[in-house]
């Protein structure tokens, strides 16, 4: 088997027929489908039963309790038999023939993993999202060019479904998701992948259709699940700090972390009160553990608006005299 697609499903019945229909247009003797139902409570289980009868080389795994997307992907990865593994969420879909082309590209390049472009779908709008690496079909080291602080790099493209990953990475544990993370699991996973794999390439395929603004998606949650980016980045920064290239990578890790913090500052007014308080407290606690000189340097290299908002919430030690313009503590 050349390629296994691990399809994570939880209460996606309104979208699953589209997904399954496009999987049929990607089926082949070298393509395997592993569906994982994370104890759905809607019509998802029935639709998946029908899918495994209609699709060749397909398997259904059922969780007896809801375990989250990390554990769901881990279950599918453990069952995968392909030389390469890719991921799909049950509310997304594919262009015809995408998986055979993805498998062929991965086999042709022979790298630990490949990454691809994708199409973001918001209502009726389609947007091409290009992987932020202009060198295409070239074998690269996974840390080549990712630490540039002031622009998006491949480390900021943490979509598990936008690529194919060699079985070598399964055997080394690099495709394991942290089951404690309910959201932001892909950030930690992506950093581990780039820090520990030895080769990758970017390929100009755009066959995956990523559906935004799905009602049941965890990316729309406004409760404590969204705050799992905090332990996710605690893991990232701790692992970066112990990496041989930590001095090179740590500013980028802190910059990526602060970018997400700023996003949450912008959104916090819509959070439950307890979630907002938890966010502010946990962020300040974690920020205090970071190297304060480096933390301050990274903040001051950000644009004025972000810098002021971040400094209104936490000032690195040594910046007590700094007064952000118009900043109020949330």
Alpha-carbon distance 20 to 64, whole Å?
A: 23
Alpha-carbon distances of 31 from 59, 83, 330, rounded to whole Å: 12, 10, 50
- Say what the pLDDT of residue 319 is: 63
Residue 146, phi then psi, degrees to nearest 5: -85, -15
Query: Quick one: 3-216 is in which CATH superfamily?
Result: Spore Coat Polysaccharide Biosynthesis Protein SpsA; Chain A (3.90.550.10)
**According to DSSP H, which parts of the chain are helical?**
16-24, 44-54, 69-79, 98-109, 167-171, 185-196, 229-241, 246-267, 273-287, 292-300, 304-313
pLDDT one digit per residue (tens) for the chain, 330 residues: 899 999 999 999 999 999 999 999 999 999 999 999 999 999 999 999 999 999 999 999 999 999 999 999 999 999 999 999 999 999 999 999 999 999 999 999 999 999 999 999 999 999 999 999 999 999 999 999 999 999 999 999 999 999 999 999 999 999 999 999 999 999 999 999 999 999 999 999 999 999 987 655 544 556 788 899 999 999 999 999 999 999 999 999 999 999 999 999 999 888 888 999 999 999 999 999 999 999 999 999 999 999 999 999 999 986 644 444 444 444
Residue partners of 185: CB distance under 8 A and separation at least 6: 69, 70, 177, 178, 228, 232
Q: Where are the domains of the chain?
A: 3-216, 221-313
- Say what the pLDDT of residue 323 is: 45
Alpha-carbon distance 148 to 145, whole Å?
A: 6
Cα-Cα-Cα-Cα dihedral sign, residues 173, 177, 178, 180: negative
Q: Of the candidates 118, 108, 127, 126, which has an alpha carbon nearest to the alpha carbon of residue 163? A: 118
CB count within 10 Å of CB 22 equals 20
What angle in degrees, to the nearest 10, is found between the helix axes of 304-313 and 292-300? Answer: 140
- Say what the pLDDT of residue 214 is: 67
Please name the residue that has the structure tokens 């502010």. 280
Local structure of 327: helix, strand or coil: coil
Q: Of the candidates 86, 197, 204, which has an alpha carbon nearest to the alpha carbon of residue 141? A: 197
- Say what the pLDDT of residue 325 is: 43
- Say what the pLDDT of residue 329 is: 41
Measured at the CA of 123, the angle between CA 122 and CA 126, to 5 degrees, comes to 55
Q: What torsion, rounded to 10 degrees, do the Cα atoms 79, 81, 86, 92 define? A: -60
**Per-residue b/e over 129-141, b at no fewer than 16 CB within 10 Å?**
eebbbeeeeeebe
Q: 3-state SS of 277-291?
A: HHHHHHHHHHHCCCC
């Amino acid at each position: 088997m050349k390629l296994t697609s691990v399809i994570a499903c939880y209460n996606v019945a309104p979208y699953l027929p589209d997904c399954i229909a496009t999987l049929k247009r990607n089926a082949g003797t070298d393509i395997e489908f592993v569906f994982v139902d994370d104890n759905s409570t809607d019509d998802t289980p029935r639709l998946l039963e029908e899918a495994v009868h209609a699709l060749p080389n397909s398997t259904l795994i059922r969780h007896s309790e809801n375990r989250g997307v990390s554990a769901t992907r881990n279950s599918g990865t453990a069952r995968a038999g392909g030389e390469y593994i890719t991921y799909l969420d049950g509310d997304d879909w594919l262009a015809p023939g995408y998986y055979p082309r993805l498998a062929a590209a991965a086999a042709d390049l022979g790298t630990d993993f490949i990454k691809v472009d994708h199409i973001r779908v918001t209502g009726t709008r389609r947007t091409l999202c290009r992987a932020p690496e202009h060198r295409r079909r070239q074998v690269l080291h996974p840390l080549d060019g990712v630490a540039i602080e002031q622009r998006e790099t491949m480390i900021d493209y943490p979509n598990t479904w936008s690529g194919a990953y060699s079985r070598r990475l399964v055997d080394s544990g690099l495709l394991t998701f942290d089951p404690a993370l309910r959201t932001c699991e892909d950030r930690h996973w992506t950093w581990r992948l780039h820090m520990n794999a030895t080769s990758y390439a970017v390929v100009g395929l755009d066959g995956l259709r990523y559906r935004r603004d799905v009602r049941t998606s965890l990316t729309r949650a406004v409760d404590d699940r969204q705050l799992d980016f905090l332990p996710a980045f605690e893991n990232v920064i701790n692992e970066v700090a112990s990496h041989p290239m930590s001095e090179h990578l740590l500013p980028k890790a802190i910059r990526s972390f602060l970018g997400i913090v700023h996003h949450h500052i912008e959104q916090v007014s819509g959070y439950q009160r307890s979630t907002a308080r938890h966010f502010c407290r946990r962020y300040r606690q974690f920020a205090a553990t970071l190297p304060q000189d480096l933390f301050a340097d990274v903040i001051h290299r950000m644009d004025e608006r972000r810098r002021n908002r971040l400094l209104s919430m936490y000032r690195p030690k040594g910046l007590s005299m700094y007064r952000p313009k118009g900043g109020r503590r949330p």
